Amino acid sequence: MRGIVLKNHNEATSGQAYLVRKLVPGLEVFGSITLNRTVGGMNAAAVEEMASVKGGWGRLVCMPTEDSEYWVARSKLTRPSVPVTLEGRLTPQAREVLAVVARRKLALATGHIAPDESLVLIREARKMGIEQIVVDQAMVVKMPVSEMQEAARMGAFVEFVYGPLFDHRFTIQEYAAAIRTVGPEHCIISSDLAQPGYPQSPDGFIAYIKLLREQGFTESQIDQMARKNPATLLGLRL
């Protein structure tokens, strides 16, 4: 693993990325912000602050996860949520966030918003000049494969994470079928680990790659999804 992105559902991690790079030279660590209620929801000022932290390692802006309207409704909870769209259009606040992402040349992740909202977001982000986009945890948010393909046609990567395989929410066969339909050239594989009760990220990633090899994916295809595409998303040179 050349590096990692630190993701926290409740606070920005660009400051942590700066400190870790000081403590562990040679490891490329990047920060992110997830636009849940704890950072003010769809808050362009918070995105600007994340990107302004010394070092410039804040690189990824993630739409709401556990506070998205879709996730709150799907979880059958009755609490406030963070809207991204209204009547099929991005909210003004979402457009303000995208303007910062575009100006700062950051990467954009769709979080846990509804699959149809993700397509609206990707379409508008591309119009605004945002080039580095990823559909977050496509299987977890239950995005249909046809919509994964549409996202890929618009230039977004589609992410498949190991965590839901480890805890048996999905099978590797389901993952393999979706990846093949979308095309490895449009996919990213990542660990989504480091939580309590899960393997450490390097160990889990090794296990994930072994499962993909058993499903017949080639070294070249795995290299594309595990190394080249993530580097492109983060704007790194290979």
Q: In the predicted model, what is the mean pLDDT of the chain?
A: 96
- Give 112-124 pLDDT, tens digit per residue: 999 999 999 999 9
Least confident piece of the model among 56-65, 152-161, 193-202: 193-202
Which contacts of 44-52 are long-range, i.e. CB under 8 A and separated by 24 or more positions? 44/93, 44/96, 44/97, 44/99, 44/100, 46/12, 47/97, 47/100, 47/101, 47/104, 47/106, 48/100, 48/104, 49/12, 50/12, 50/14, 51/14, 51/100, 51/104, 51/106
| Residue ranges per structural domain of the chain | 1-131, 155-238
The pLDDT score that the predictor gives to residue 122 is: 98
Residue 14 and residue 12: Cα distance in Å, rounded?
6
* Neighbouring residues of 203: CB distance < 8 A, sequence distance ≥ 6: none
- Give 72-96 pLDDT, tens digit per residue: 999 998 899 999 999 999 999 999 9
The pLDDT score that the predictor gives to residue 52 is: 97
The pLDDT score that the predictor gives to residue 51 is: 97
- Say yes or no to pLDDT of 41 above 90: yes
- Is the whole-model pTM more than 0.75? yes
The pLDDT score that the predictor gives to residue 18 is: 96
What is the torsional sign of CA 183, 185, 191, 145?
negative
- Say yes or no to pLDDT of 238 above 90: no
| CA end-to-end distance (rounded Å), the chain | 13
The pLDDT score that the predictor gives to residue 237 is: 85
2 pLDDT band (50/70/90 cuts)?
Answer: confident
Average pLDDT of span 153-174? 96
The pLDDT score that the predictor gives to residue 156 is: 98
